[in-house]
Amino acid sequence: MDMRRSPAALIGLLVTGLLLAACTSSSSTSPTSSPTSAATTSVSMAPSACPPDVSKQLGKNDVAGDTDTLVPDDPSGLVLCEGHTRIVVDAELVPELTSILNGLERVQSPSTAPCRLDLGPIYGLYFNYPDASVLAVSVESAGCRFASNGKVTAHTNAGLIAQIQALTGTTG
């Protein structure tokens, strides 16, 4: 082994080792938590997985007042489903979405309403209540653009669809 090359190789090895140690031991340069967002994922809210068809969940609600208003009382949480994508909505947004839904114009006879054929997504909104009951509400983004809990039906509006699309990360 050549002694002239050995000290230079040793110094190079030490510098490389120190640089690697500095890069891997410092935790202050990398974020340790993700930023707060409007939607988060959780397993404590129902449903734990999105049903394939929200319309089959409508009318099976055990929530008092669901024949008088789309979303009665004060739900404690909300799970939003688009297809198989499940999003637990930030609890701070639940009152606003509830208010928007309850402010929609009611449809007296949804089965006789003329609708254009437009096959956009149908969102499933599952409002969770403190007593563990769950209220399913469907929101059509196209076609008739109805929102329904199976007992009360209303016309959606662009503001509601925009809110839902912002939560799902989709656009119209």
pLDDT digits (tens, 9 = 90+) for 95-129: 999 999 999 999 987 666 677 777 789 999 999 99
Sheet holding 85-89, edge to edge: 39-40, 85-89, 77-82, 122-128, 134-140, 146-148, 153-155
* pLDDT score at 15: 36
* pLDDT score at 109: 72
pTM: 0.72
User: Which residue is it, tokens 């929101």?
Assistant: 139
Among 132, 123, 152, smallest CA distance to 77 is for 132
Mean pLDDT, all residues of the chain: 78
| Residues 60, 136 contacting (CB under 8 angstroms) | yes
pLDDT digits (tens, 9 = 90+) for 154-165: 999 999 999 999
Q: In the chain, what's the furthest Cα-to-Cα distance?
A: 94
Q: How far apart are CA 144 and CA 149, in angstroms?
A: 15
pLDDT digits (tens, 9 = 90+) for 21-68: 333 333 333 332 223 344 444 448 999 999 998 988 898 877 999 999
110 secondary structure, DSSP code = G
Q: How far apart are CA 126 and CA 107, in angstroms?
A: 21
Give the mean model confidence (pLDDT) for residues 7-27: 38
Beta pairing, strands 77-82 & 85-89: antiparallel
User: Which residue is it, tokens 């089959």?
Assistant: 56
Question: What is the distance of C-alpha 86 from the center of its chain?
Answer: 6
